[in-house]
Every structure is written in structure tokens, then in C-alpha cells.
Homo-oligomer: A and B are copies of this chain.
């Protein structure tokens, strides 16, 4: 039996199913498909692995697929528009359902297409990477990148269900597993120091893809995210905590060129930068910054920004961050391990020192 979590969003409430072998089981899809037409959006890495199995589970529906090129560099308006070409070629109606089969990029693009096709249709997330299972498939943030900034064009659009099949992690490259662990660690850093302790003591099992350890890590991550999203669906407040490491991380990703750093890698390095700035402000003791770096490093993630990006370049990319309000950059920092906060009250000289 899968673990079932509920994201409590009133009329937009939906379940997250977590377990092994779920994506081949029709019962996890059927209740959440709106009409009879299903468009599976996937990429050319994940499609060959799982597309046939998902289609077999959807016997009886009019199922079509659109296979996008794999990679963050393709998360553009132009590639996104191919989903509409496919939907319209197939004459798909407003009661059609989109299934996102893949990692965060596929989920973000498919979800954003579902948000905009005929002004909004149903969609289901079937995340196949650790990062997507713990982060990008939950919470309804969808979108594409602009050359000047990551996720700058998008929408809030909640899925009807998330089907997180932990068996898909068996085929995940090690580098992507590590990148996903950065987001898992993030949940500990922002809200649950006990989970951080657990992760510290189970890092070897996680890296070794122990099924039980992964299932626990995914479940707890989704629980924390679901709770925060339920409190603040449209990010007018607390939800911004989920962006720990992300303002730094997005600047790294944009500056390094999309796809050169994986999102999770950039977030991991970003968490280390956030910890460093939190220390300079006087909140985190040096030992906790060291522990942060150690945890990130043990997960196999870089702890430093790219050497070829200087502080000025990073500050420039950070200036277009979505958390900027009234011209003021706001950052998610750590008051202590397990307690993050959003603030614009920091000395910009300290920020520059952190980036230098």
C-alpha cells in the first residue's frame, strides 16, 4: 500500500501517493482524470523508460504523448509551445488531462501548459526524480525560464494528484539523486532539525538508494512542503521559506547557463551561502555553518559557488528574484538550524562578503 498524504487546499485539495511501482497501476490515475483524453508530457530520457508502462495503465482512454528534449536548457517558452501544438493537433478539449511524466523540468512545463491550455485544464504529476518527488511536483508552482531569470514566466496551478513512484529512482543518475537530496535537506534546515539529524545518520542509505530510507525522506519532505503550501498557497508569506538557498541558487543557475548546474546542486551551494550570511549576521554559530557544509558535501553536492562567477554578477542575477519587493532584495536565511526566516534586514556589505 502506498503512503497517502493530502495537500489541504480547500476545493483544490489533492493527494500525494508515495510508494514503489505505483506508475503502472491504473487506480492511482482514474479518479483524477477529468474526461477521456489524456496527453502525457515527458522527455526523451524518461519516455523510453516509463512511457509504455504508463500508457498500459491508461487503457481505455484516448492517450497521446509529447516527448520534449531533456534538460533545463529546454525549459523555454518555445519548447513549451510544442505541448499546445500536440494538444491542438489532437483536438483535445477543455476536459482533457495532462500527465507530467518526468523530473522537475517536465513537471513545470506540463503544469504550466495545463494552466494555460484553454485557460486551464486538469493535470497529474508523475515525478520520476527525487527532486521532483520532494519538491517541484508539490505545491502548484509551474513555469518556464527566461534568459534573464529562472521561472520568471509561470502560474500557480495545482495538480489533481501526485503519483510518486519510488521505483523510478533506481534508474536515476547518481548526480541527480544528490541534487534531489539538497532539497530534502532543505526541509530539515527550514523547519525540522530532528529530520536533519535523521538525514545525517541515514545519508549512506539514501545515497545507496535504500528503498525504506528514500520513502521516509520523501514522505517527510512532502509533509513539510504540503503543510507550508496549505498555509500560504500563493506565497504571500511563509511559503517563501521553501526558497532557502534558491535566490543564491537561481543566480548560480542563470549565471552558469541553464543546465550546467543542476537545480538541486545550485540550491545546495545556495544553502551554504545562506548559512554563511546567517553567521555573518550573528545568527548561526560557526559550528552550524560547518555542519551545513558537511551535510551538503556528504550528499554529494557542491558547497561553493562557481569560481567563474564573481559577486557582482551574482548580485545582478539576484536583483530579478521574485522575492524583491519595493526594490528591496529579500532572502531566506537561518535563525538557527531548523528555523528559517525571510528578511530584507541584512547589511549588504555582509552579503557581498558572503559572495566574494
Contact = CB atoms under 8 A, between A and B. Distances in A.
B118 A322 contact: yes
Contacts of A117: 152-153
Interface string A278-299: 0000000000000000000000
A77 to B, nearest CB: 5
A198 to B, nearest CB: 33
A120 interface: yes
A150 to B, nearest CB: 11
A245 interface: no
A143 B325 CA distance: 27
Copies in the complex: 2
A324 B88 contact: no
B155 A93 contact: no
A322 B322 CA distance: 32
17 contacts: A35-B326, A36-B327, A77-B81, A88-B148, A93-B324, A93-B325, A93-B326, A95-B326, A115-B155, A117-B153, A118-B154, A119-B141, A119-B143, A119-B154, A119-B155, A119-B322, A120-B156
Interface of A: 35-36, 77, 81, 84-85, 88-89, 91, 93-95, 115-120, 141, 143, 146, 148-149, 152-156, 234, 319-320, 322-327
